[in-house]
Amino acid sequence: MFSVTVTAYLFNRQLSLRGKPYRQLLKKENRLRKFTYICLLLFCTTTLVFGQGLPMSVPEAVGVSTERLERIRPVMQGYVDAGNLPGFLTVVARHGKIVHFETIGMRDVENKKPVEPDTIFRIYSMSKPITSVAVMMLYEEGRFQLGTPVSKFIPQFKNMKVYNEDQTEILDAKKEITIKHLLMHTAGLTYGWGNKPVDALYKEAKIREPGSTLVDMVEKLGKIPLVHEPGERWTYSVSTDVLGYLVEVVSGMPFEEFLQTRLFKPLGMVDTAFSVPLEKADRFAALYRHNRREGLMKRVGGDAPLAKDKLSFFPSGGGGLVSTAADYMRFSQMLLNGGELDGVRILGKKTVELMRYPHHDDWFGLGFAVVTNKEPPNILESVGNFSWGGAAATTFWIDPQEELIGLLMTQLLNNRFPFQQQFKVLTYQALTE
C-alpha cells in the first residue's frame, strides 16, 4: 500500500514526470512532507523516466489541497479493512497534472499480492468510450454520417424485426438502426439480462460466446427482434459491440488492430488490449464478486494462479478490454484536452464537444453519461462532467469546467457500496481554486 509520494516513485515507469523547476516548487512548500515530495519528483524526473504518462505536481500548484486529499485514503481503506473489497487504485489529475495517486489493498487476496501502480484491470464497460472514440475517428474521415443506416456496412441489420410494447407480437421495424442510435444506446438492442421473450433469445444465442467472432455476433443479432423501435428510448445494450464490428468493416482491419495502431500506440497506452500476454499475467488483478445473500466477497474462478498462458477475451467493444491507470488517464486527458495529447491529435475539438453533448433525454452523449442542468447533481460535480463505469466497479469522470479527471480501479462484481460517489466527493472537496 502506498501514499501518493511513495507511489510516485513506483508509478514513474508509466508516468513521465515533467513538474515545475525545483526552486519554483520549493517556494510553495514549507512542510517536510512536501519537501520530500518535490525531491522525489525531481529524482524520478531525471533518473527514472520509463513511461510517457501524465506529469505529476504538488497539489497546491494546481489549486488542490494536499491536506484535504488525505481524506481519501481512510474512507477507501475502510472498505478493504471490512473485507468488502480486495483493493483500490485511485487517481486525480487537474490541469493535466497528477495530484493524487494511491493504491490500497490487494490485487490478489489469496496470494497476498498488493495492488501496484502497473496493475492490469478488467475495465468492462469503460471499453465503451474507447470504442466510441474509434467510431468518431472514422466519422471525421468522412466514412459515414451519424445518421447513416448501419445496414449500409452490416447487411445483417437490414429489415429488422421488432417486438411490440408488451412483447406479444413480432412486427417489421419501421425505422433502420443508424450509427448514432448505436452510440446512444437507442437502437433497440439489449443485453438479454431480463426475463422477457427477447432476453431468452439473447441467452439462447450466446451473443458474445468466448471463442466466437464479431461476425458471429452480428449474424446472431440480425436474427433477433429488437426490443423497441430504433430511436424510441434508451436501452443499455450490445450496441457498442456492434460498433466494434462497424470499425472493423469500415477500416478494413480487425477491430483490435485498429485500436492498437490508431489509438493505443499513438497515445502510449501500452497495456490496453483484449488480452493479457503471459509476461504481464502476474500484474493482472484477480476478479471478485460480492454475494449479497451471504454478505461476503468471493473470488471468481477460485484460488488458482492468475494465468499459465496468454489470457484472451472476446473482442467486445462494449466490455472486453483490460487496462491500467496510466493508460486510461492518458485516454481521459486526451478527451479533456479536446482530442489531443502530447502533440498527438486523435480527434478534433468539435468532435469531442459533440460526443459529450447530451443527445438523449438530456443525460447521455455519444458514449458517455453527461451531467446537465435538467437534473442538478446530488454530489459535488460540475454540469458538463462526462463519465462512465465498468461492471467490476471501475469508474472515471472528466470535468471540463474544473479541468479535472478522477479514476478509480478495483475488481468487484455486484458492487453495492457507495465508494465511487464518496471518491468523487472527496476529490471535489479538495479543490481550492
Please give the pLDDT value at position 310.
75
Query: Is 413:290 a contact under the CB 8 Å cutoff?
Result: yes
Q: Is 269 among the domain residues?
A: no
The cell for 214 is 464479431
The reported pLDDT for the residue numbered 304 is 47
- At 191 the pLDDT is 97
Residue 124 lies inside a defined structural domain of this protein: no
Do 135 and 235 share a domain, yes or no?
A: yes
- Co-location of 111 and 139 in the same domain: no
Residues 78 and 147 in one domain: no
Helix, strand, coil share (%) of the chain residues, nearest 5: 35, 20, 45
Is residue 235 domain-shared with residue 359, that is, in the same domain? no
Whether residue 125 lies inside any domain: the answer is no
Q: What domain count does the chain have?
A: 2
CATH label of the domain that carries residue 248: 3.40.710.10
- Residue 259, in any domain of the structure: no
263 belongs to a structural domain: no
Provide the pLDDT for residue 12: 42
pLDDT by residue, tens only, the chain of 433 residues:
444 434 443 444 444 433 344 444 444 444 444 544 444 443 343 223 334 569 999 999 999 999 999 999 999 999 999 999 999 999 999 999 999 999 999 999 999 999 999 999 999 999 999 999 999 999 999 999 999 999 999 999 999 999 998 899 999 999 999 999 999 999 999 999 999 999 999 999 999 888 899 999 999 999 999 999 999 999 999 999 999 999 999 999 999 999 999 999 999 999 999 999 999 999 999 999 988 777 789 999 755 445 556 788 999 999 999 999 999 999 999 999 999 999 999 999 999 999 999 998 889 999 999 999 887 677 889 999 999 999 999 999 999 999 999 999 999 999 999 999 999 999 999 999 9
Handedness of CA 253, 256, 257, 261 (dihedral sign): positive
Cα–Cα distances in angstroms (integers) from residue 383 to residues 358, 386, 398, in the given order: 11, 9, 11
Neighbours of 301 (CB within 10 A): 10
Helix axes 239-251, 214-221, angle to 10 degrees: 120
Domain membership flag for residue 348: yes
Residues 47 and 168 in one domain: no
**What pLDDT was estimated at residue 6?**
40
Q: How far is CA 204 from CA 65, 123, 173, 199, 349, in A?
A: 53, 26, 22, 9, 43
Same domain, 198 and 342: no
Examine the domain organization and report whether 13 and 93 are in the same domain.
yes
Q: Do 103 and 140 fall within a single domain?
A: no
Same domain? For 141 and 114 the reply is no
pLDDT value for 73:
98
Q: 394 in a domain, yes or no?
A: yes
The closest alpha carbon to 183, from 220, 150, 218, belongs to: 150
Pair (191, 147) in one structural domain:
yes
pTM exceeds 0.75 for this model: yes
Give the chain's end-to-end CA distance (angstroms, integer).
30
336 lies in some domain: yes
42 burial (CB, 10 Å; 0-12 / 13-18 / 19+) is: middle
- Quick one: 184 and 105 in the same domain? no
Domain enclosing residue 10, as ranges? 4-119+275-312+324-428
- Residue at a domain's end among 204, 221, 253: 253
Residues 420 and 298 in one domain: yes
Q: Which helix (H) or strand (E) holds 221?
A: helix 214-221
